[in-house]
Amino acid sequence: MAAHNVKTLIYSSTCATYGEPDTMPIVETTPQIPINPYGKAKKMSEDIILDFSKKSNMAVMILRYFNVIGSDPEGRLGEAPRPELREHGRISGACFDAASGIIPGLKVRGTDYPTADGTCVRDYIDVTDLVDAHVKALGKAEPSKVGIYNVGTGKGRSVKEFVEACKKATGATIKVDYLDRRAGDYAEVYSNPAKIRDELNWTAQHTDLRESLATAWKWQKAHP
pLDDT digits (tens, 9 = 90+) for 128-174: 999 999 999 999 999 999 999 999 999 999 999 999 999 999 999 99
**In degrees rounded to 5, what are phi and psi of residue 19?**
70, -130
Q: How many domains does the chain have?
A: 1
CATH number of the CATH domain containing 196: 3.40.50.720
pTM of the model: 0.92
Range(s) of the domain holding residue 115 = 2-222
pLDDT digits (tens, 9 = 90+) for 74-130: 989 998 877 777 766 678 888 998 998 888 888 888 999 999 999 999 999 999 999
User: Contact 196/202 with Cβ under 8 angstroms?
Assistant: yes
pLDDT digits (tens, 9 = 90+) for 42-83: 999 999 999 999 999 999 999 999 999 999 999 899 988 777
Cα 74 vs. chain centroid, distance in angstroms?
21
Q: What span, in angstroms and rounded, lies between the C-alpha atoms of 169 and 188?
A: 24
Active-site residue, 38 included? yes
Catalytic residue among 38, 149, 178, 186: 38
What is the per-residue pLDDT for 224? 80
